[in-house]
Chains A and B, each alone.
Chain A
Amino acid sequence: MKKWLEPLANAWQGARTHKLRSSLTILGIVIGVAAVIALMSIGRGVQAGILSNIESLGSNLITITPAMSYERGGVMGASSVATLTLEDAAAISEQVSRVIAVAPYSSSNQQLVYGSENVNAQIIGVTPEYQAAYNLETAEGAFISEYNYDSGAKVTVIGASVAEELFSGVDPVGQKVRMGTSIITVMGVLESKGSSMMGSTDDAVLIPLSTLQQTFSQQRTSTGEHIVSTIAITVSEQGQADYVVGEVTDLLRSRHRLASGEDDDFSIRSMEELVSTITEISGTLTLFLGAIAAISLLVGGIGVMNIMLVSVVERTREIGIRKALGARERDIWSQFLTESALLSFTGGLIGVAVGWGASKIISGVGIMGSEMTTVVSADIVILALAVSVGIGLLFGFLPARRAAQLNPIEALRYE
């Protein structure tokens, strides 16, 4: 037998001598580790879900909105001043590099009517770049083209759930709907993306921005520029967001003639920033879940200590014999520590398997009816195993010390 295997084999033998007791001890660790694995996999799953939602919207996205106006005393104003214009968007598109698409848009709430069906929808006036900026695909028909935009065509591209609500059973493409006082032709239906925390494109009703401005609102600034509510920008590659935000800020400040001490009259948010915020928040959530589960691991550890103390008492005579045969205190120490570490490591292994299984079941069944993705990652598994061995060593410490310090004569006399 290999020399390093021998203590393990001895410990295994010791554990096997009391099968029921050892299995109950292991069970405590199993439950603890399984809870940690399952809860952390849920936490990680939530995080991955949110991030993939953002990914599908386009993680390279930067959005510019007019700044909130602040009243004196720090009370936030309810309305924001319209400061962004179509001309700002054009300038960004021309003058800022590392940008793929610049998509200015505005919106207006209108009622859509088709036959006897009607829905209230937020109509978004967009340019053709909107498709690239938000990663949109059409399931049927086509997206708003350059030609549609230039000519101010009365056409619309609608989201999947709007199509479902208005045209149940009818092919929406080519149908005419009434929007406010105008009649508009459906030219395309967007592919469904599901909902995300950023709102759902399934509810979208998109028309050319030019059409929106002509039909519903024709707002201009004092200098005659066309006001838009938001400008979305797609950055050419990941990691360039900070550069683009800086460039755009400088450009807009000079276009809006802001003096150097003045606050920006617009606010810029990049998805990258949002992603890091969300990662941080959900990481904290995951840790919190793990910490709750770790409490049961702690209880399991105390179980290990309890059993090891019983085991030391029961094996007092064995300890006496070993000491008479020349075992030093550290030989006895290592014997009992190995045994408790082996017990809790075995518990950890089984716990990982059980936790993994549980997270698979959760992702299959979901929690309270809602779908749930779970992610079991290698770092959690390794951490859980390391922690379980650590618990064995920590909670085996006291019993092992007690064993090592037994007086050999009294131990030999023990019945």
Chain B
Amino acid sequence: MIRLRDIAKVYPMGNRELEVLRGVNLHVKQGEMVAIMGPSGSGKTTMLNLIGCLDVPTSGSYYLENREVSCLSRGELAQVRANKIGFIFQSYNLLPQLSALANVELGMKYAGGIDSEKAMTALARVGLSGRANHKPSELSGGEQQRVSIARALVKNPPLILADEPTGNLDSHTSEEIMAMLTTLHNEQNNTLVMITHEADIAHYCQHIIHFKDGQIEWEEAV
């Protein structure tokens, strides 16, 4: 599903250069649930941005579903994001002016078009069919994250990326969200890569990757 070869990412910082990733090699199989862990500044988020086609590596190559995406144009990368990848963010990133339903529909907008029935079904699957017309400000944090999960899953992408999906939630809600993510992942059989700080959240995953100083320190399969 995901194959990274000697990925490096360097950001120019004034006169110096900041090496965020140095020589990352990684293989994620289709249908896996992967957790990326590590201290802040270790390059996890940069890693996730690269996997999510929001950014391109300075060197190295990235194959997504056996297609090299590290050399694509910005427009082609947008197409890959639209059709292959669903994002779940720590701070939900819902559009405040849109209803829950419209936010879910936004997930389909750039991937072939809006289908309101499908969006309603996705909301129902995260248990929010009764709140379809509520604005994000009228929903709790857990509910907002459920809307954002519905938004990521509504187009049924092969790859789901989550950047600390439970980072802003209390432990009870975190467990609920993780249980829901696991269930949906099992149902749709897509690949899920998430960043987390918390070991008990990481243990929902079969494959755990530890980052340190821009490199994979160690990997474990549960």
Contact = CB atoms under 8 A, between A and B. Distances in A.
A408 B93 contact: no
Contact of A327 (B54, B83, B110): B110
Interface in A313-350: 317-318, 320-329, 331
Contacts of B95: 318, 321
A103 B74 CA distance: 82
B211 interface: no
A412 interface: yes
A331 B111 CA distance: 12
Contacts of B111: 325-326
A325 B79 contact: no
Contacts of B52: 324
Contacts of A327: 78, 82, 109-110
Contact of A412 (B75, B85, B93, B110): B93
B12 to A, nearest CB: 14
Nearest to B108: A325
B79 to A, nearest CB: 7
Contacts of B79: 326, 328
Contact of B97 (A3, A6, A13): A13
A326 B54 contact: no
Interface string B48-83: 010010110000000000000000001100110111
A17 interface: yes
Contacts of B93: 317, 320-321, 324, 412
B110 A331 contact: yes
A229 B35 CA distance: 108
A329 B97 contact: no
Given A408-B54, A409-B49, A324 B97 contact: no
Interface residues on B, range: 20 to 34
B38 interface: no
A322 B106 contact: yes
A150 to B, nearest CB: 90
Nearest to B45: A409
Nearest to B116: A1
A201 B215 CA distance: 101
Interface string B95-111: 10110000000110111
Contacts of A328: 75, 78-79, 82, 110
Contact of B81 (A6, A13, A325): A325
A317 B89 CA distance: 13
A325 B54 contact: no
A324 B75 contact: no
Contact of B106 (A14, A325, A412): A325
Given A13-B97, A409-B49, A325 B82 contact: yes
Contacts of A412: 54, 89, 93
A318 B106 CA distance: 11
A326 B82 contact: yes
Contacts of A6: 114
A320 B97 CA distance: 15
Contacts of B113: 3
Nearest to B87: A324
Contacts of A409: 49, 54-55
Nearest to A16: B97
A318 B103 CA distance: 11
A325 B110 contact: yes
B173 to A, nearest CB: 22
A363 B106 CA distance: 52
Contact of B78 (A3, A320, A321, A329): A329
A318 B89 CA distance: 13
Nearest to A324: B87
Contacts of B75: 328-329
Nearest to B76: A328
A327 to B, nearest CB: 5
Nearest to B84: A326
A101 B188 CA distance: 95
Nearest to B46: A409
A304 B154 CA distance: 36
B78 A326 contact: yes
Interface centre among B55, B74, B78, B85 (most CB of A within 10 A): B78
A326 B106 contact: no
A320 B163 CA distance: 15
A3 B109 CA distance: 11
A290 B83 CA distance: 51
A17 B110 CA distance: 23
Contacts of A323: 54, 78, 81
Contacts of B83: 326
Interface string A1-34: 0010010000001100100000000000000000
Contact of A329 (B74, B82, B109): B74
A18 to B, nearest CB: 10
18 contacts: A3-B113, A6-B114, A13-B97, A317-B93, A321-B95, A323-B81, A324-B52, A324-B54, A324-B81, A324-B87, A325-B109, A325-B110, A326-B81, A326-B82, A326-B111, A327-B110, A328-B75, A412-B93
Interface of B: 49, 52, 54-55, 74-75, 78-79, 81-83, 85, 87, 89, 93, 95, 97-98, 106-107, 109-111, 113-114, 151
Given A327-B78, A412-B54, 20 more contacts: A13-B98, A14-B97, A318-B95, A321-B106, A323-B78, A324-B52, A324-B54, A325-B82, A325-B87, A325-B107, A325-B151, A326-B78, A326-B81, A326-B110, A327-B109, A328-B82, A329-B74, A331-B110, A408-B54, A409-B49
Interface of A: 3, 6, 13-14, 17, 317-318, 320-329, 331, 408-409, 412
Sorted nearest first, the 9 A-B pairs with minimum C-beta distance are A326-B82, A326-B110, A328-B78, A326-B81, A321-B93, A408-B54, A327-B110, A324-B87, A17-B97
